A and B are shown apart, each in its own frame.
Chain A
């Protein structure tokens, strides 16, 4: 909930600058007249809503939020079970960032490049949250060549740090060079992985050494799913690339739209069966060593104090996860890493809406409390709506309903009884 609020605030700030783009200096964005700020920051017209008779009234944000959430939840639940589960959860994605001259333009605030790098930061974090075993690598294109910034890896912080240090824009962009480079690196990933490229493209042209159509054909053959998020206008070659390789092509309208489009690529795409073979991978879940214990690690061949993990098969010491054991070759992962995505597999069934009238009839007690947070459900102002879990029949307030389905992913009622254990046959 707290994170949500933050995001909304920052989105509002970002969206602020569209109106007065002409007056802005290159590195500015901060210099604004007071009256401008009043419009840009507060956007007071957005908090008004037109009712049936055409009158303006302040927005009832809480109920709108809940209505939005219900719609999202029901849409997710109504999707066929197979498409909900068949996700390519092990993804190998190269993020290609256009740092050509076009990226230094300031039609987006404060500039395209800054917007893109900020977007990449949130995207990378969100990506690892949703795809725990996946890998991301960064590639930049400038001066007509593509350059790999980071290797495919599983840690968000190091990736972001490297990008933040390399943000100068110059020269032309070359789509073909970028694709060739990425195709080369993606050729080495295991076949159960999903190969993907996501290009954040600012330019309106591409400056290529050869025939890009051939490259696109090769990408298609290698089953690399290419997607593009454009920052200027729609370009035919990008559209063609995405159509051919099964990716998606979108062009941003403004700052908040760009972020939205970018984050659409964070959840795992529906896996196309032929793109990656399903496999059972043997994995170990190493135990973390106690603080203060000295051991020699097998990866650096050094004596280290504290931390570290122990391979469950050969008992070798490893510094970081995920990795492959140097001695016995077992793939080693941290089990919480895997568990982060299990709520996709066992979602909490949507709760049914119950109005308070129904409540009074069916229950002898007039004052009911939410099973989750103990808040009384009776006097809730205008909204006397509650929900009940179809499995355990416990009542919940709307806030708990939202928290349970969006963050907790457990029904406290079902977990508080013996019979219905969570993981059988929910899907």
Chain B
């Protein structure tokens, strides 16, 4: 890596590090290609995504692209443009394409093997391990931050289609807050049928762009028009506005997504129904039911 890169890199404000999180959940891609209305397969999706990766690398020769896959049973790095250069001697388009494809194939096969043993996965948890992929992306970005005073501007792009996994709620929120503290925007492009509450919150909190394309056939155009713009240029552009943010949370007891619930005043755990005791901190709730009424009376005074 070091041998080929010119010693003083001239990072201008439009040099970007784009970490792309790729949803490889076979259940999601299976249902998407089977639905009569939209026939959009994983290979068609790759026909849009790989040219997009290439165009990012061509936009600025210092641009850095990292691909991370989020599968059903594992997450892993697929492609890193910084290390790929060294092995190949140049960023030839076919080389980038074949490397991504072969690593992806390897990953999907391994992910399937890991997922097989787990009956629960097959039984119906359709979500991919988004929290793991997001955590990996943030660790990678921290490494770039450590690399020196000058580094490319990092951002994360999530290409997610699977429904949110409510059991990942705490982990996803932790990752979002960490991204916010490091000022890393999370862009999201939702490929599935429903909006994603995780991605809406992620983009809203970190100041990224949230988009649910109307037509998946035009995905490459969406990618280049919206997600290829670096952070500096975004101030001059009219990017898609948020369509609202779904702030629903997951209850700790059943991992259900809820918009109303009970919150423990000691530890702030969320429950979908009234419990006698907090399962997280052990607080006893059997006494004192008139709190809310008292509070309301005070606020009216």
Contact = CB atoms under 8 A, between A and B. Distances in A.
Interface of A: 1-3, 82, 85-90, 132-133, 188-192, 271, 276-293, 309, 312-313, 324, 329-331, 333-336, 338-346, 370-375, 399-400, 403-404, 407-419, 421-423, 427
Interface string B168-210: 1111011111100110000000000000000001001100000
B271 interface: yes
Contact of A416 (B75, B245, B283, B292): B75
Contacts of B282: 82, 85
B176 to A, nearest CB: 8
7 contacts: A85-B281, A190-B298, A284-B260, A288-B244, A292-B241, A400-B143, A408-B139
Contacts of A419: 118
Contacts of B115: 418
A284 B259 contact: yes
Interface in B113-145: 114-115, 118, 120-121, 129, 131-133, 135-136, 138-140, 142-143, 145
Given A375-B143, A399-B142, A423 B170 contact: yes
A339 B131 contact: no
A89 B268 contact: yes
Nearest to B74: A416
A285 B174 contact: no
Contacts of B176: 336
A412 B136 contact: yes
Given A339-B173, A410-B175, A418-B129, A372 B140 contact: yes
A69 to B, nearest CB: 14
B18 interface: no
B248 A2 contact: no
B266 interface: yes
10 tightest Cβ-Cβ pairs between the two chains A and B = A372-B139, A416-B132, A278-B283, A415-B132, A412-B135, A373-B143, A339-B173, A416-B75, A288-B245, A335-B249
B173 A342 contact: yes
A105 to B, nearest CB: 36
A298 to B, nearest CB: 15
Interface stretch (B39-47, B48-56, B154-162, B272-280): B272-280
B59 interface: no
Contacts of B74: 416-417
Interface residues of B, number: 84
Contacts of A3: 181
B245 A192 contact: no
Contact of B259 (A280, A287, A400, A416): A287
B266 A278 contact: yes
A277 B268 contact: no
Interface in B81-111: none
A280 B271 contact: yes
Interface of B: 72-77, 80, 114-115, 118, 120-121, 129, 131-133, 135-136, 138-140, 142-143, 145-146, 167-171, 173-178, 181-182, 201, 204-205, 241-249, 252, 258-271, 274-275, 278, 280-285, 287-288, 291-292, 294-296, 298-299, 301
Contacts of A415: 75, 129, 131-132, 135, 168, 171
Nearest to B241: A291
B296 A280 contact: no
Nearest to B139: A372
A372 B68 CA distance: 11
Contact of A336 (B201, B260, B267): B201
Contacts of B261: 282-283, 285
A416 B247 contact: no
A281 B245 contact: no
Nearest to B257: A285
B101 to A, nearest CB: 20
Nearest to A333: B263
A217 B97 CA distance: 75
Contacts of B264: 278-280
A408 to B, nearest CB: 5
B139 A373 contact: yes
Contact of A1 (B146, B269, B283, B284): B146
A226 B248 CA distance: 37
Contacts of A414: 132
Contacts of B146: 1, 399
Nearest to A283: B263
A199 to B, nearest CB: 25
Contacts of B139: 370, 372-373, 400, 403-404, 408, 412
A2 B148 CA distance: 12
